[in-house]
Structure 1
Amino acid sequence: MDQHVVIGAAHWTYLAGVAVIVLTMILRANVVVPSILATFCVVFAWSHSPVTALGSIFTASFVAAKELFNIFLVIALMTALLNALKELRSDIRMVEPFRAVMKNGHTAFFILAGITYFISLFFWPTPAVPLVSAVLLPAAIAAGLPPLAGAMAIAIAGQGMALSSDYVIGVAPGISAKAAGAAVSAAVVADRALVLSLIVGGIALVLGYLSIRKRIQPASNSLLVAWQAQSSGLETERLEEAGTFDKAELARGTNGRDTLLSDKAVDRALASAPAKRVFWSKVFAVLTPLAFLAVIVTMIAPKLMPSLPPLRGGEAATLVGGMAALLMILASLAADGPRKMLDVSADHITSGFVFAFKAMGSVLPIAGFFFVGAGETAGPILNIAQGTTPPHLLFELIQSAEHLIPHSHLFVAFGILIVGMITGIDGSGFAGLPLTGSLSGALAPAAGMDAATLAAIGQMGAVWTGGGTLVAWSSLIAVAGFARVPVLEAVRALLLPVVTGLIVATICAVTIWS
């Protein structure tokens, strides 16, 4: 690209749109309307045609939908599988055996974190929060774990570690990579985000445990009785309405299961299943995690053994989605028989798509605006004829200001991290990913860094902040509600461990991949 970039009205309009969107996020208001209006203004400034600008409102979201539809499809199929497993009560059976090993509060803290992470890695925190809270949290409380410590373990492992890497489903790295540019691989972003999420989560869990270990009490059923007598209060209800997205709804899951269960209640729930389903309930409680572990092994095997053919492009997502669809059909067959399975499976898939668009639909106009600034996707939105090179507005803006950017890897990395954390303030970790991805792709050449590394760092900042660990109006509301602790108390307890983890992980990223 020519080093002497001419910055025109479209560039300044795009920059103003970015600033307005970031400011809107800071104010915790919805960013969809500003994104749509900013798209209109940028295209009008470029084309000087109100017709093209008006059409760009549709085209931008349509381009984003084409780029990101594989993400929607994987979410839909995974949600369909989850609903099928709930019919068999296999979801409860997958975690029920771990109640027996919660002998004291110390082990309960790490068991809660481990199980939450495992489930959230495959299904997002959507089922993990209500499932772990209903089945395992009462047992952990009786083992002597303070409710606040339970909330910390669930939030760090689910909304933090699992959601920030999103390694299996691949929504977050997919959005980050698409926004960063065609040369950035979603698989590389996912690999680096996984490593960084483990660093942040490991540090946060250790610091969180050290901060509450003296409050752990000897095991006693009286602790459970006293805890169950508490009310979660009205603060949660008030904060549920705050923020850009209703993340608490995503955390609760698709069936509204929010009843906390004692050991006896879990036993009754499992025994209530019809006798003919009990066998298949146990089978799928074992088969489902084994099947996805096999998928993970397939995904990482080429990295460990270079002689194996690597997975190309979105093949990892297709494996996850295909496995979810197959398991869903088999679970529906076991639960309802061959005839009814045909209708039930279709209903599960429909419910999955409803949830997918409810969870991610608002991302499309936001991503559409940032795609205007990327040369790989700007052409259709700006109505540029094929064969004509479209502008790369964001890259050209940064290129024109390259002499002002310090050539310090740490400075750029922490800048991306801070931008990600700012975008997460609105309470939605994924809304800021198009911005952090776009900035990563544009800043990487100027800083002499890998765009995938910067995208992974930005993803950490956005998701750990807005996904449900650092702001009270995120899905942390649901975690605090289930644990029956004030949500602001949970934020205060999580702040130092999570921020410390993010700082260390960013330094590690620069050290390892610079």
Structure 2
Amino acid sequence: MGIELVWLHGVYVLFVLGIILLMVLRRDTSLISILGIALLGLVATGSVTSAVGGIFGSFIYAITELLPTILVICIIVAMSHVLTDTGVNETMIRPMTHLIRNPTLAYWVIGIVMMVISWFFWPSPGVALIGAVMLPVALRAGLPAIGVAIAMNLFGHGIALSGDFVIQGAPTLTAKAAGIPVGDVIAASVPLVIVMGVVTTVVAFWYLRKDMKIGNVPAPTETAVPDSVFASVRVPLTPGVRRALAAAVPILFLLDVLAMFAFDLRGGDATALVGGTALLILIVATMLAHKQKGLEEVTNHLIQGFQFGFKVFGPVIPIAAFFYMGDSGFIKVFGEVLPAGSHGIVNDLGVALAQTIPISKEIAALTLTAVGVITGLDGSGFSGITLAGSLAQLFATALGSGIATLTALGQIAAIWVGGGTIVPWALIPAAAICGVDPFELARRNLYPVAIGLLVTTIVAMFLL
């Protein structure tokens, strides 16, 4: 390996370690990612202008790669706003409340409904919807507010978001960083998501029931849901129209899922189908609700969705841009400047790792879980999954196989930790809507999530 190649890879490794360190310290990683891109460009090209221009070019490349994911999430959130404003969401959920007759049913029904809603609408809108509609019912059935919050967190921000099978935002990010098709990541994540979900939710429920029996959890009191947390303007719709929309929305999305299987739609095609359906629902619901003002309100709801989407992905774009430089993105941004014999920075590092350090399946799985946990400490869940994909590619190159499983494992660990289950500042929406302390919610989720990650990592070792 030539001296120039050594310098280039050394810079990349140095900044990867720096990014991990800042995540451990709970600091933002945008600045160090930008500096890393500039220094990589400077070492590779020897030109200051190319290095500076490469920063902007890397952002364009990252946004281009992420744009379908950003757009579909923006549109889904915009649609959820109009459905919430018109009461359609509440009408969709209300029949499920009749199943809640005791604390056990309350926990599992709320969790499963939250999971399904989160697959199609994402967990953030789902928290407000499920909390507002089902919290009073759950309290009457005997499930404490902390139990409602736990169920929403684990099923929504845990199971649904870590797999993200319908919208496919998370697997798209990790798949692009790992350089493999998004369908491979989704297929590999299915058994891991099931294991993680079953273990974590069962353990959490066991702890909750035990504490309820010995009195460590206060008895539920039916209090009003804090309206100030997720306030929304109610737009009147006739009962018939509201019920028709409430029936049409799940049917349309169910048809989307069936179409994905029937026509083998994966990745971008599946995302486009979901996004287009959500956009049509947004338009129809808005026009029915606002009539003459519908044209303007469609735009207003789209603006709300875009504000949410870019707020979520704002911190993701710089770090994604840096990790894309470890693969094909480097050539797209800086041109054919890699030294002779290089197969991409991450691939080169994987080969070198295999030749110098004995890497086993166990070490690789443990490392990806640890990296996922560390990258999730910033409370985002999404900001570090590109790192998980990049490192999965590195370890898989050293092992000779297992890239999809390692990528899925890193994704699951990162999102379970940072997506809103054990990092207190990521739990504030669920805690606020249920009226519980976010630190208490994080404490109660900690052991179940830790046990789930341990079991899932062991399972992944056998799947590699």
Q: How high is the TM-score relative to the length of structure 2?
A: 0.92
Q: Within 5 A, what are the aligned runs for 1:96-135?
A: 96-135=94-133
Aligned to 2:424, the other structure's residue is in SS state coil
- Number of the residue aligned with 2:155: 157
Which residues of 2 match residues 255-334 of structure 1 at below 5 A?
257=230, 274=236, 276-299=237-260, 301=261, 309-311=263-265, 313-334=267-288
Residue 8 of structure 1, CA deviation: 2.0
In structure 1, what is the equivalent of residue 223 of structure 2? 228
Distance in 2 separating the partners of 1:434 and 1:345: 33
Residue type of the alignment partner of 1:482: I
The two structures, once aligned, show a CA RMSD in angstroms of 2.7
Q: Tell me, in whole angstroms, the C-alpha distance in 1 between the residues paired with 2:77 and 2:280.
A: 13
- What is aligned with 1:379? 331
**Residue 189 of structure 1 aligns to which amino acid in structure 2?**
V
Alignment deviations for residues 89-135 of structure 1 (CA, whole Å, 9 cap, x no partner) = 10111112222222111110111101111111111111111111111
Alignment correspondent of 2:307: 354
Query: Measured at CA, do residues 229 and 158 of structure 1 come closer, stay the same or move farther in structure 2, by a change above 3 Å?
Result: closer
Aligned residue number for residue 70 of structure 2: 72
Q: Is the 8 A contact 1:421 1:462 kept in 2?
A: yes
Q: 1:61-107 CA distances to partner (integer Å, 9 max, x unpaired)?
A: 11001111111111122122112212321011111222222211111
Distance 2:211 2:20 in 1: 40
Alignment CA distance shift 1:385-1:23 (3 Å): closer
How far apart in 2 are the matches of 1:33 and 1:191?
34
SS at match of 2:27: coil
Query: How far apart are the structure 1 equivalents of 2:199 and 2:247?
Result: 31
State how far apart, in whole Å, the 2-side matches of 1:483 and 1:30 are: 29
Amino acid aligned to 1:349: L
Residues 312/101 of structure 1: CA separation in 2 closer, same or farther (3 Å cut): closer
The 1:383/1:390 distance shift into structure 2, 3 A limit, reads farther
Q: Count residues in correspondence.
A: 460
Q: Within 5 Å, which residues of 2 pair with 1:487-506? A: 487-506=438-457
Q: Which of 184, 197, 203 is residue 199 of structure 2 equivalent to?
A: 203
Task: Sort the Cα spacing of 1:352 and 1:132 in 2 relative to 1 into closer, same or farther, 3 A.
Answer: same
Give unmatched runs, 5+ long, in structure 1: 233-251, 260-268, 303-308
TM-score, normalised relative to structure 1:
0.83
Query: Mapping of 1:234-253 within 5 angstroms?
Result: none
Taking only the aligned residue pairs, the percentage that are identical comes to 34
Q: 389-398 or 313-322: which moved more? A: 389-398
Per-residue deviation, 1:312: 5.1
Q: 1:489 is aligned with what amino acid?
A: E
Give the CA deviation at 1:6: 7.2
Q: Deviations over 1:5-42 (max 9, x none)?
A: 97421111111110111000000011111111111112
Alignment equivalent of 1:483, drawn from 425, 434, 440 = 434
Q: 1:5 to 1:197 in 2, by over 3 A?
A: farther
> 1:344: Cα distance to partner?
2.3
Letter in 1 for 2:432: G
Tell me the SS of whatever aligns to 2:419.
helix
Q: For residue 175 of structure 1, what is the amino acid of its counterpart?
A: L
Measured in 2, the distance between the counterparts of 1:48 and 1:346 equals 46
- 2:199, 2:451 within 8 Å by CA — same for their partners in 1? yes
Whether the 8 Å CA contact 2:115–2:159 is kept in 1: the answer is: yes
The yes-or-no answer on 1:81 pairing with 2:79 is yes
Could you tell me which residue of structure 2 aligns to residue 237 of structure 1?
none
Residue 47 of structure 2 is aligned with which of 24, 41, 49? Answer: 49
Taking the aligned partners of 2:212 and 2:86, their CA distance within structure 1 comes to 35
The AA in structure 1 aligned to 2:298 is S
CA distance in 2, matches of 1:139, 1:258: 20
1:236 alignment partner in structure 2: none
* Alpha-carbon shift at residue 391 of structure 1 (Å): 5.5
Question: What is the distance in 2 between the residues matched to 1:216 and 1:139?
Answer: 18
Residue 13 of structure 1 is matched in structure 2 by: 11
Question: Is residue 369–residue 413 contact of structure 2 (8 Å, CA) maintained in 1?
Answer: yes
Q: Does 1:461 align with 2:401?
A: no
Contact 1:469 1:491 in 2 (8 A): yes
1:368 to 303, 316, 321: 321
Q: Aligned residue for 1:264?
A: none
**Contact 1:145-1:216 within 8 A present in 2 as well:** no
Aligned equivalents of 2:398, 2:332: Cα separation in 1: 27
* Structure 1 counterpart of 2:209, one-letter code: R
Q: 1:385 to 1:212 in 2, by over 3 A?
A: closer
- Written as runs of structure 1 = structure 2, the 5 A alignment for 1:171-190 is 171-181=169-179, 184-190=180-186
Question: Is the alpha carbon distance of 1:493 and 1:313 closer, same or farther for their aligned partners in structure 2, counting shifts above 3 Å?
Answer: closer
